[in-house]
Structure 1
């Protein structure tokens, strides 16, 4: 195999990730929500009361980064934190009424984003892409 450090699948995936992040940030700019904040809110629109640790695990983010995002979203008035009744060291996160209303605006945008990303691909191709990406993820996680 010829060594071409800038012509490999990792570089291509990174470039696509940057393009997707810019695309999503552009779509959410008017709402003043970043791609990362959107992912966190999406977790809460699916299920409230999720812990900060669970958010970090689901989003594959460090706990400090999740805590900063939660703090920012709390200042915007979209979420609130509550101590877990079973474990006082753990914090659960809930939507405020404003956070629920935000979902009415953002969820349709998220659906359009997904549709745009999947444009021109069949369900089989999307499934194959997911399978291949998970295979790559597994390859780097065993190193």
Structure 2
């Protein structure tokens, strides 16, 4: 069976990812927040004081990438970084008042985004989509090792 460009599931996933990224990027632009930076902020709005290593694990990003994003967020005044008293090598991230206020504006946008993405999908379809995306991610991860 010969697949056409549009038949490749990887192409469809990539196109969907671009569409999602462009949408959220346009919504976050007025707040001087990139989509990747927003992922860190979302985790901090959920649980302030996470370490950079915890963010690395939760986001499945490399340490350098997370450190760079944290530095940029600190430069923008959204967070402060401080050394963990128990382990001076560990860096904890805390929201500033400005970062907390930002959450009051951005969290509703994230919720609206999620509603837009999930519009018309049943609970069962969402569960199946989650299962399938996890399986695809596992396939790719295992092929890299």
TM-score, with structure 2 as normaliser: 0.94
1:76-101 CA-to-partner distances (Å, cap 9, x unmatched) read 11100111111111101000111000
1:134 aligns with 2:134: yes
> What is aligned with 1:58?
58
Map 1:1-143 to 2 at 5 A. Answer: 1-4=1-4, 7-143=7-143
Query: What is the Cα deviation at residue 7 of structure 1?
Result: 3.0
Cα-Cα RMSD: 1.2
1:4-37 CA-to-partner distances (Å, cap 9, x unmatched) read 4663111111111111000000111111111111
Count, aligned residues: 143
Query: What is the Cα deviation at residue 2 of structure 1?
Result: 2.6
Query: What is the Cα deviation at residue 47 of structure 1?
Result: 0.4
3-state SS, counterpart of residue 90 of structure 1 = strand
**Unmatched 5+ stretches in structure 1:** none
State the distance in 2 between where 1:92 and 1:109 align: 26
3-state SS, counterpart of residue 87 of structure 2 = coil
State the distance in 2 between where 1:57 and 1:6 align: 33
TM-score, with structure 1 as normaliser: 0.95
1:90-139 CA-to-partner distances (Å, cap 9, x unmatched) read 10100011100000000111100000000111111111001001111111
3-state SS, counterpart of residue 89 of structure 2 = coil
